[in-house]
Amino acid sequence: MDIQYQPKPQLLLSTFLVFFIIHDIQVGVGIQGFQRIIFLEAKQDAWISVILSGILTHMIVFIMIKTLQYYGSSDIYGIHHDIYGKWIGRMMNCLYIFYCLVTSLVILKNYIEVIQTWMFPQVPTWFLSISLLLLVVYGVTGGIRVIVGVSFFNIVLSMWMLGLIGYPIRYSDYTHFLPILESNIPAILKGTFKMTFTVIGFEILYVIYPHLKEKNKVQKFAHLAIAITTILYLLLMLLAIAYFSSGQLEKSIWVTLSLFKIVKLPFIERMEYIAIAFWMLIIIPNIMLYLWAAVRGMNRTFNINESNFIWIFSLILFISSLFLNTRMKINTFNDKFALAAFYLVYCYPIILFVFVLIKKKIKGFKEKQI
């Protein structure tokens, strides 16, 4: 396996697209109901947890990009091979491939649950799963440029929804924020930890980095995307706290979708139906990116043809989605995934960065000896 990976010129991406990739993948299924989860921990100070989560994410992204910059043009699969050697490196790569598959499953199943709960309760899971996965497979077979192109246009086409979210402001009660800092520090930090499920996605940088043209500009666009996403989550959290009572926030599963219910237009009665259907434009590229990252990992690690594993992994996702058939199972699955994602997305990059620094120091010392 080659540590360095240089894609063909026609597969390279303009660096500014990193903004759309990260922002799109972060604004996934978690945004539909993250407010309740954070509010249960930090109460009216939940907005502080959102800010802390954004700051922590900026730090981790900085470390991730610094790690990648040490290798010039490589991805996490090549870095694992260099740091751990052939066999342990393959094991670590398989772990990351498995993570990408599980993340795809989480996104797929949570979106299907929303569709079944809010719009089509009688439509079976297998039908919705096949319908979404066929679109995903079609996009992944087109390659990374097609996937990123879909992410770009979907972000642009979804911007109109931001205006509708502000509709409940006229009914807000800002006394709900008082008293400020009533929650203790451990509670606020627990809220920050609970944001993991909502804000993950930026780790896709580990895989797409070699495809970017001007790698010296990745930091700028990546941090801009994180900042915009954090501001969006902060606004939604502030709006939810101001509009809903504490009792309502603790019981509402999909708070953001409930905010859409307030919107009443002369020509549309149920605005949340439009939002849920339109949200598919954001969900589909997210699944595409993670499935592509998993397939890319198989090719890099074992030199296996990518086209075969697109269908194999899609079949695995389809079968797995059928077993998560109750709200309790999905909640348990989400909680366990969020815990594992915290260690893999927020803790592991620090460990990997330290290993890379040690490797480079040892290599530099040996070169001086020679």
Which tens digit of pLDDT belongs to each residue from 267-318? 677 777 888 888 888 889 899 999 999 999 998 888 887 778 899 999 999 9
How does residue 5 score in pLDDT terms, banded at 50, 70 and 90?
confident
The answer to whether 26 and 225 are in contact (CB under 8 A) is yes
**Cα gap 302→312, rounded to integer Å:** 15
Burial class, 176, CB count within 10 angstroms (exposed 0-12 / middle 13-18 / buried 19+): middle
Tell me the angle at which helices 34-42 and 185-194 cross, rounded to the nearest 10 degrees: 160
Residue 13: strand pairing partners: 212
Given pLDDT bands bounded at 50, 70 and 90, which one contains residue 79?
very high
- Residue 29 is predicted with a pLDDT of 73
Q: What is the pLDDT of residue 365?
A: 62
Q: Please say if the pLDDT value at position 162 is more than 80.
A: no
- Residue 7 burial (CB count, 10 A): 15
Residue 367 has pLDDT above 80, yes or no: no
Rounding to the nearest 10 degrees, give the CA dihedral for residues 144, 335, 326, 46. Answer: -100
Mean pLDDT of 238-250: 85
Cβ atoms of 70 and 356 within 8 Å: the answer is yes
Residue 82 amino acid letter: D
What's the confidence (pLDDT) of residue 174?
A: 79
- The pLDDT assigned to 252 comes to 82
> What's the pLDDT score for residue 290?
93
Angle formed at CA 229 by CA 99 and CA 275, multiple of 5 degrees: 90
Residue type present at position 50: V
Q: Which residue has the tokens 């040892």?
A: 362
Q: Is the pLDDT of residue 167 over 90?
A: no
* Contact assessment for residue 46 and residue 237, using Cβ atoms and an 8 Å cutoff: yes
Residue 249, phi then psi, degrees to nearest 5: -65, -35
Give the 3-state secondary structure of residue 265: strand
Distance CA 5, CA 76 (A): 11
Q: Which domains does the chain have, with CATH numbers?
A: 15-323+349-358 (1.20.1740.10)
Percent with pLDDT over 90 in the chain: 36
pTM summary value: 0.91
CB-count burial class (<10 Å; 0-12, 13-18, 19+) for 99: buried
Could you give the 3-state DSSP secondary structure of residue 212? strand
Question: What is the distance between the alpha carbons of residues 184 and 176, in angstroms, rounded to a whole number?
Answer: 17
